């Protein structure tokens, strides 16, 4: 039996597109001699559909698409993921399921057992867990078909009390197939390979795994579909961050050569780069937009966002707006213009001096006798926010936010100013990683000016301002933030690692106090195991971190 793994970029709720892609790949697989083609979890509707699942019409469209797909399954079988109704009154109304289709008909329904409800996942909100286990029989082979999380309960600290494969193995299957929607983070590919390899070893069965690819707002899916032999050895690894289709012979898995060998994993920074480019590209394409605008300050964050946007959308579709104030240095303007010249994007120079002076005059009476402080700094940032939003409204640009994760964590940004935008490109990338990204982007030629990379970071909202006036050194700050955010460590545990007690407590208080700002930020492209947004839910008025 020959199995095709179809690694596709789906669009949530775009049934016409998803159905067409699935049908096209059925015929492509058939042309390659496949007997069975396998698609991802919730492929028909896209993952994650979230509260679309609460609309009866949405579920009806899923079923209608599945029947259309089934009509094209002649002389080839397929497995597709979709939500299906729970016919039992008790419990949730839906199952996260897979259809096994052959001879133009739905032959079997397999339902997901383990429903993740942590970090970015919220499946138990919508789905009922499966309680019945049956293998799929096809061409003399018994297939243990599972859905994503069903294979992840294999470690020293199980999250669930049951394990679907422990039930399915009793039926003596010949192979395992797992359909998934497994989001990217820059450590997850290694974790995924280990978990799947451990399953193949434990059950002594070859394993065929298909993941989706593409970005769904903040979630990015990296593909990387996999094949393992019964010893748990990785035999094939499909493309990352691209659509792909490959066909494998079941009886010859042990002889399959890895079509995309990666004995050394791509660096974290390359993975982050590729994920962000895909995230920008898909956000625009799936939202029906093509042109981006951003404020270009001459600093490293906006320079990196501009470079990524130009790579994702084409330089001709990116508008960089330089908005110098009376505190902007000559070298910042020059650095921004050098980037524009290096990269070839559009640009405008719009000075904000007149706007800030107008606000100074408007507020002169209520502010009489009060010294210049963060209020006037924020007015400058908000003037810039008004300018780029005006460009967005007038020309139909989508505004890209340029704040990084370090700033977002400690609240070093201005609401309705530099924190505005439709999407945050670097909101899950620490400042030290932004520097690495800049060097990666410059690997073949200078795109981001060297001076932008080497000069001390500054918001330039007052004379001779430096980030270091308000924040600890980024090298130390990011290490503490990583322990707190990704590793979920409190002050005592971080201090025990050798960090200064006063500094740790100061930083964690800043993180806690800034929670109200993060509730008002744009969606953040997720590239780490713990990003701000849907995967990190903290109370605004909590005192725990104070």
Catalytic residues: 41, 112, 148
The reply, when asked if residue 297 is annotated as ligand binding, is yes
Q: Measuring CA to CA, how many Å separate 111 from each of 55, 93, 351, 398, 490? A: 20, 13, 59, 39, 39
Task: Identify any residues that bridge with 4 across adjacent strands, giving them in sequence order.
Answer: 37, 247
The reply, when asked if residue 65 is annotated as ligand binding, is no
The reply, when asked if residue 394 is annotated as ligand binding, is no
Sheet containing 234-237, strands listed edge to edge, beginning at the edge strand earlier in sequence: 136-138, 141-147, 175-180, 207-211, 226-228, 234-237
Radius of gyration for the alpha carbons in the chain, expressed in angstroms and rounded = 26
Q: Yes or no: say if 424 and 263 are a contact pair by the CB < 8 Å rule.
A: no
The reply, when asked if residue 302 is annotated as ligand binding, is yes
The reply, when asked if residue 402 is annotated as ligand binding, is yes
The reply, when asked if residue 432 is annotated as ligand binding, is no
Sheet containing 105-111, strands listed edge to edge, beginning at the edge strand earlier in sequence: 105-111, 94-102, 77-85, 36-38, 2-7, 244-249
**Residues composing the chain:** 546
Q: How many CB atoms lie within 10 A of CB 365?
A: 7
Task: Identify any residues that bridge with 106 across adjacent strands, giving them in sequence order.
Answer: 101
The reply, when asked if residue 452 is annotated as ligand binding, is no
Q: Yes or no: say if 227 and 209 are a contact pair by the CB < 8 Å rule.
A: yes
Cα distance between residue 336 and residue 404, in whole Å = 18
User: Which residues make Cβ contacts (< 8 Å) with residue 39, sequence separation at least 6?
Assistant: 6, 8, 22, 25, 78, 79, 80, 81, 179, 210
The reply, when asked if residue 267 is annotated as ligand binding, is no
The reply, when asked if residue 517 is annotated as ligand binding, is yes
Q: Would strands 175-180 and 207-211 be described as parallel, antiparallel, or unpaired? A: parallel
The reply, when asked if residue 79 is annotated as ligand binding, is no
- Where do the H-state alpha helices sit in 162-267? 164-168, 188-203
Assigned token pair, 490: 């409190």
Cα distance between residue 289 and residue 446, in whole Å = 29
The reply, when asked if residue 313 is annotated as ligand binding, is no
The reply, when asked if residue 378 is annotated as ligand binding, is yes
- Where do the H-state alpha helices sit in 15-116? 15-31, 56-70
Binding-site residue numbers for deamido-NAD(+) are 378, 407, 517
Which parts are annotated binding residues? 118, 182, 295-302, 378, 402, 407, 517
Binding-site residue numbers for L-glutamine are 118, 182
Annotated binding site for ATP: which residue ranges?
Answer: 295-302, 402
């Amino acid at each position: 039996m020959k199995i095709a793994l179809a690694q596709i970029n789906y669009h949530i709720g775009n049934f016409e597109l998803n159905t067409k892609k699935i049908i096209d790949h059925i015929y492509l697989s058939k042309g390659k001699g496949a007997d069975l083609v396998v698609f991802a979890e919730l492929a028909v509707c896209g993952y994650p559909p979230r509260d679309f699942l609460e609309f009866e019409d949405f579920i009806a469209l899923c079923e209608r698409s599945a029947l259309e797909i089934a009509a094209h399954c002649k002389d080839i079988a397929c497995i597709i993921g979709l939500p299906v109704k729970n016919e039992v009154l008790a419990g949730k109304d839906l199952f996260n399921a897979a259809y096994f289709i052959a001879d133009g008909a739905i032959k079997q329904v397999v339902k997901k057992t383990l429903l993740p409800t942590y970090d970015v996942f919220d499946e138990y909100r919508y789905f009922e867990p499966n309680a019945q286990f049956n293998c799929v029989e096809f061409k003399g082979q018994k297939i243990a078909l599972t859905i994503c999380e069903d294979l992840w309960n294999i470690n020293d600290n199980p999250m669930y009390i049951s394990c679907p494969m422990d039930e399915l193995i009793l039926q003596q299957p010949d192979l395992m197939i797992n359909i998934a929607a497994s989001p990217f983070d820059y450590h997850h590919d290694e974790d995924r390979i280990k978990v799947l390899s451990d399953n193949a070893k434990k059950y002594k069965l070859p394993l065929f795994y298909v993941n989706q690819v593409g970005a769904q707002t903040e979630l990015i899916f990296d593909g990387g579909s996999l094949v393992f032999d019964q010893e748990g050895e990785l035999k094939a690894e499909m493309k990352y961050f691209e659509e792909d289709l490959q066909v494998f012979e079941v009886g010859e898995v042990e002889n399959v050569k890895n079509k995309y060998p990666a004995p050394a994993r791509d660096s974290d920074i390359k993975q982050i780069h590729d994920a962000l480019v895909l995230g920008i590209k898909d956000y625009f394409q799936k939202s029906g937009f093509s042109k981006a605008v951003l404020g270009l300050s001459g600093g490293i964050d906006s320079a990196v966002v501009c470079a990524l946007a130009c790579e994702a959308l084409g330089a001709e579709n990116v508008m960089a707006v330089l908005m110098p104030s009376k505190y902007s240095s000559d070298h910042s303007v020059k650095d921004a213009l050098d980037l524009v010249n290096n990269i070839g994007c559009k640009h405008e120079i719009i000075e904000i001096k007149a706007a800030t002076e107008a606000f100074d005059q408007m507020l002169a009476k209520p502010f009489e006798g009060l010294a210049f402080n963060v209020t006037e700094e924020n007015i400058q940032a908000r003037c810039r926010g008004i300018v780029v939003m005006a460009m967005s409204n007038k020309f139909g640009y989508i505004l890209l936010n340029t704040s990084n994760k370090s700033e977002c964590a400690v609240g070093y940004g201005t609401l309705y100013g530099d924190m505005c935008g439709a999407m945050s490109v670097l909101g899950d990338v620490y400042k030290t990683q932004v520097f690495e990204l800049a060097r990666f982007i410059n690997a073949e030629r200078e795109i981001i000016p060297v001076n932008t990379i080497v000069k001390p970071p500054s918001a330039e909202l007052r004379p001779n301002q430096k980030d270091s006036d308000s924040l600890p050194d980024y090298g130390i700050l990011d290490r503490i933030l990583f322990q707190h955010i990704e590793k979920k460590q409190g002050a005592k545990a971080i201090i025990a690692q050798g960090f200064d007690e006063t500094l740790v407590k100061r930083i964690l208080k800043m993180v806690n106090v800034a929670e109200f700002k993060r509730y008002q930020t744009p969606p953040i492209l997720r590239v780490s195991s713990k990003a701000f947004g849907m995967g990190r839910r903290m109370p605004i008025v909590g005192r725990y971190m104070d």
